[in-house]
Amino acid sequence: MTSAKVTETPEEGYERGLGSRQVQMIAIGGAVGVGLFLGAGANIAKAGPSLILMYALAGLIIFFIMRALGELLLYRPVSGSFAEYSREFLGPFFGYFTGWTYWLMWVVTGMAELTATAIYVNYWFPSVPQWVTALVFLVVLFVANLISVKLFGEIEFWFSMVKVTALVGMIVIGLGVLTFGFSAAGDTATVSNLWQFDGFFPKGIGSSLMTLQGVMFAYLAVELVGVTAGESENPEKTLPKAINTLPWRIVLFYVGALTVILCVVKWTEFAEGVSPFVKAFAMIGIPAGAGIVNFVVLTAALSSCNSGMYSTGRMLRTLADNGEAPRAFNRLSASKTPALGITVSVAFMAIGVILNYIVPEKAFGYVTSVATAAGIWTWLMILISHVRYRRAVTAGRLPASSFPAPGGAVCSYIAIAFLLFVTGLIAYDADSRVCLYVMAGWAVALGVGWLVLKSRTPEIAARREPDLERVG
């Protein structure tokens, strides 16, 4: 079987400084975020124990998406992968649209997460103004991203380690409570908590399905491993390993952790705005439990912001390389980082800190819903590009990847249908559909920008064949 890799070009220029250990943890960290640590509380109140099934269902779809992305990455591992594959298989406009939309997703996510970090630090230091904390974290992460990709990878490694350790600890402690009955929660902790309070679907299946939009937000950033492809030391080995372990991470960190928590604490105890992990630690009676979880959630937010700075700089460089953003974004610094792209992205994130400081709390929810809509677009582009790629392989026009997705394009079609269903749920919900209006405005703005670009440089709309080298 043949596969393909990208031929080294002087324009690429990135340092392949991310080792296997770091890529693995970036993949794990992408699957564990604030959406789980905080967002699960409101969703438990809406769906009860059936939320476990919703996370499992969404996790299966995420695995389909990641295997589709994995096949594309091993066909042609490039930084800024989603935009590049959209450009190759759907046309230049879709590459342009996907690149800018993924940039938007991370900028607005960075706005939200940076403000969240200030709120979490306020738990310990209420006298420190939130804008001061947000500014300090913004500058520290910004400098780290400018220094080198290795430093970014190391920071992300330790952020992810904190999250993973906390989740594993929660699962082990919860299993101990269920098995041996110790702690204040020991008398009421039982597996039957999953069904004895109005059943497994206490609010009905419809209410459970409505939580899918929040569940999908929890999985945002899992595709970040694709952005690292151009800077991984050995993508042919590290990327398949990171993607293939995804089901185990989902089973352990999402399904496992929620199952244990809902066995230890009955679902009726949870409410919006309360982290299920904080609640569970409090019920078990662990000293400083709330402080421990607050620290974990803080690292989750910083991890997301750190990833946002990394990915936005790379995406702007990809856009500049294709003439879809100012050429200045194409230059690399002496440390081989897209410094200008990172700087501009951070400037937009800083505006978000100011906005979140001024406007009411509801703006935070709007920002995250916009990020979800942008993420769904990115996932759809990955899946549709994969379907087109499989057709080209079958027709003999392109070499086969060394990491084919199981089931071929069938699983991608299933995932496309699922994402369209979730988009329908977003449109049905009055609170979340505002993000679709924002995305419609964003689409119009990008459409106008594309027409201006085409009028100035008509060749930008021409398809370009990727520079491939057959191997194997």
Q: Is residue 353 part of a domain?
A: yes
Q: Is residue 10 part of a domain?
A: no
DSSP H helices in 76-203: 81-90, 92-122, 130-147, 149-180
Q: What is the pLDDT of residue 21?
A: 63
Residue 79: pLDDT above 70? no
Looking at residues 178-183, what average pLDDT do you find? Answer: 82
pLDDT digits (tens, 9 = 90+) for 326-357: 888 888 877 777 889 999 999 988 876 776 66
Q: Is residue 94 part of a domain?
A: yes
Please report where in the chains the tokens 């043949």 appear, as a residue: 2
Res. 9 pLDDT band, cuts 50 70 90: very low
Number of domains in the chain: 1
Residue 4: pLDDT above 50? no
Residue 72 zone, left/alpha/beta (φ > 0; ψ -120 to 50; rest): alpha
6 backbone dihedrals φ, ψ, rounded to 5° = -80, 135
Looking at residues 298-317, what average pLDDT do you find? Answer: 83
Q: What is the CATH number of the domain that holds 94?
A: 1.20.1740.10
Q: Is residue 11 part of a domain?
A: no
**Mean pLDDT for the chain?**
82
DSSP H helices in 228-288: 235-244, 246-249, 257-264, 276-284
Looking at residues 233-258, what average pLDDT do you find? Answer: 80
Separation CA 282–CA 297 (nearest Å) = 16
Residue 22: pLDDT above 80? no
Q: Is residue 117 part of a domain?
A: yes
Cβ atoms of 309 and 141 within 8 Å: the answer is: yes
Residue 68: pLDDT above 60? yes
Q: Is residue 3 part of a domain?
A: no
Q: Is residue 103 part of a domain?
A: yes
Q: What is the pLDDT of residue 414?
A: 97
DSSP characters over 177-219: HHHH--STTTTT--GGGGTTTT-SSTT-HHHHHHTHHHHHHHT
Residue 12: pLDDT above 60? no
Residue 452: pLDDT above 70? yes
What pTM value is reported for the model? 0.85
Residue-number span of the structural domain to which 54 is assigned = 22-464
Q: Is residue 15 part of a domain?
A: no
